[in-house]
Amino acid sequence: MKRYSIERANAWIDNFKTRFNWFDKTVSSWKFLNYIVFIVILLKKFKKVFIPFFLLLISVAFSSCENEEDYQEIKDRTVIVYMLANNNLYSDALNNINEMESVWNNLSNGNLVVIIEHRSGGKKLELIEIKNDNNTKYISSPTVTIYEDKDAINPLDMNYIINDVIQKYPSRKYSLILWSHATGWLPPNTILRSFGESDNVEMDIHDLARSIPSNLFDVLIFDACNMGSIEILYELKEKANYIVASPTEILAKGFPYSLIIPSFFENDIDAVSIGKTFFDYYDQQMGEYRSATIGVVKTSELKFLAQKTKELICNAELSQSLYERLNYVQFYDRYQNKIFFDFKQVIECIDVSNNNLFPSFLTQLEKAVIYSAHTNIFLNQYEIKNCSGLSCFIPNKMHSSTIKNYYKTLSWYNDSGFDKLFGFNLD
């Protein structure tokens, strides 16, 4: 009977520890859990006789936690850069990391870490902690972890990796930079890419949303093409307070990291400042390199923007002539059959009945898009006369059923009234 009681107690302890370890795996927590378990067992056995020792054991437990060897300092901020670089942008990824090293200040009360997926044949997924180094030909920052068995574009694996980094680098605030190829909300392998490319495999936007922890990041930056669409940002509105993205392509050099990284570690991060730094850098270039658009979006305003958009569309007199007017709307891509149009101009085209709803829509748009800028021409191939900082999609008969059906799976489709724009003879 005594042996049975001991084995039952041990089994109960092991089961309790296992469940606890789902949430916390630090040495200190494991020690503290054991103290609590043994206190409960002793109290049950000795009851009132043992109560005088209870406070003593609790004080010992807390003292142990305070003097733990694995104590981690909580920094002010950690910036996570997630690089899907197993593609033809790999050399640009290495250049960007070298740029981060050159400007990193080791005295900053923060962390700058990079998760990079290397080209096929090398280490697959590597977590690097950026350290200062002025050698632009060599990456000297140390490797913290190699994720040998993880798939960079699998949503469960990506979520695991991001959460693992958060556990390794406890901070008061976090920011995320997503770096790769992209073609906005488009489904994978339809035209070029959705978000990310890993060994010719692409990531679905719904999977991307599932990969990113909610309500954690204050700023999310897309160093990737065409991610500044209302459809994408609405899908990701719970992922960050502010999102910085471009409705057009971004040149292969990407964001000027030597200029924007210091902004993350100032007392109050300013997403507008980051967007402006990006634009000013490209606006000073020459020739086709003077090509950039950018928008900075306050995500808490997007649900109200969807409501204003739906109200306007539902009260508009929609007709086939809408698609004729779209010929005069600013576009943001180089496809023969255009996909990305300026969001503000599209709504202007819809609101031709003068129902006085456009001014309230415009007021809400200005609350949501707190900064936008554009060069006058892009890659010497098309003019940019208008840029609200956001793109959107309008279907026509030339778009494939795959694209149109996929669009209907996006939250923006129903919440904004854009489903009404699919009511014409388009299929």
CATH number of the domain enclosing 255: 3.40.50.11970
Task: Assess if residue 98 is contained within a domain.
Answer: yes
The tens-digit pLDDT sequence of the chain (427 residues) is: 544 454 455 544 444 443 343 344 444 554 555 656 556 565 565 555 555 555 555 555 544 444 444 556 899 999 999 999 888 889 999 999 999 999 998 657 899 999 999 876 555 899 999 999 988 888 999 999 999 889 888 999 999 999 999 999 999 999 999 998 886 655 555 544 456 666 667 788 899 999 999 999 999 999 999 999 999 999 999 999 999 999 999 999 999 999 999 999 887 889 999 999 999 999 999 999 999 999 999 999 999 999 999 999 998 888 777 777 877 899 988 877 888 999 999 999 887 666 689 999 999 999 999 999 999 999 999 999 999 999 999 887 777 788 888 899 999 999 999 998 886 544 4
The residue out of 297, 319, 353 marking a domain boundary is: 297
Instruction: State how far the Cα of 248 lies from the Cα of 279, in Å rounded to an integer.
Output: 13
Q: Where are the alpha helices (DSSP H) in 114-204?
A: 155-168
State the sign of the Cα–Cα–Cα–Cα dihedral 97, 99, 101, 106: negative
Boundaries of domain holding 44: 2-66
- Which residues pair with residue 378 across a beta bridge? 382
Q: Are residues 90 and 138 in the same domain?
A: yes
How far is the CA of 138 from the CAs of 82, 114, 121, 143, in angstroms?
20, 15, 19, 14
Judge whether 25 lies within some domain.
yes
Q: Are residues 41 and 95 in the same domain?
A: no
Same domain, 266 and 409: no
Alpha-helical regions (H) of 268-328: 271-283, 302-314, 321-325
Q: Are 19 and 81 contained in the same domain?
A: no
Exposed/middle/buried for residue 381 (C-beta within 10 Å: 0-12, 13-18, 19+): exposed
Identify the domain boundary among 297, 314, 340. 297
| Cα–Cα nearest to 272, from 304, 239, 301, 294 | 294
- Does the residue 47 lie in any domain? yes
- Interhelix angle 257-264/90-103, rounded to 10 degrees, is 50
- The answer to whether residues 337 and 399 touch, using CB atoms and an 8 Å cutoff, is yes
51 and 118 part of one domain: no
227 with 315, same domain: the answer is no
Residues 240 and 335 occupy one common structural domain: no
CA 101 to chain centre: 22
Domain-located, residue 262: yes
Same domain, 6 and 47: yes
Is 398 a member of any domain? yes
Q: So what's the pLDDT on residue 192?
A: 42
Q: Domain total for the chain?
A: 3
Residues 143 and 178 in one domain: yes
Asked whether residue 158 falls in the same domain as residue 240, the answer is yes
Last residue of a domain, one of 14, 49, 66: 66
Q: What is the dihedral of CA 19, 20, 23, 25, to 10 degrees?
A: -120
Instruction: Tell me, yes or no, whether 184 and 125 share the same domain.
Output: yes
Helix (H) or strand (E) holding 368, with range, is helix 358-368
What is the b/e burial string over 178-216, where b = at least 16 CB atoms within 10 angstroms of the residue's CB? bbbbbbbbbbbeeebbbbbbbeebbbbbbbbbebbeeeb
* One domain, residues 277 and 159: yes
Q: Are the C-beta atoms of 309 and 417 separated by less than 8 Å?
A: yes
The pTM of this model reads 0.81
Q: What is the DSSP letter of 331?
A: B
Contact (CB, 8 A) for 131 and 137 = no
Closest CA to 299 of 195, 406, 217: 217
Residue 113 is inside which H or E element, if any? strand 110-117
How many Å is the Cα radius of gyration of the chain? 26
CA distance 419 to 424: 10
Residue 427 forms part of a structural domain: no
Question: Is 11 a domain residue?
Answer: yes
Residue 24 lies in a domain: yes
Beta bridge mates, 176: 80, 220
- Give the type of residue at 254: G
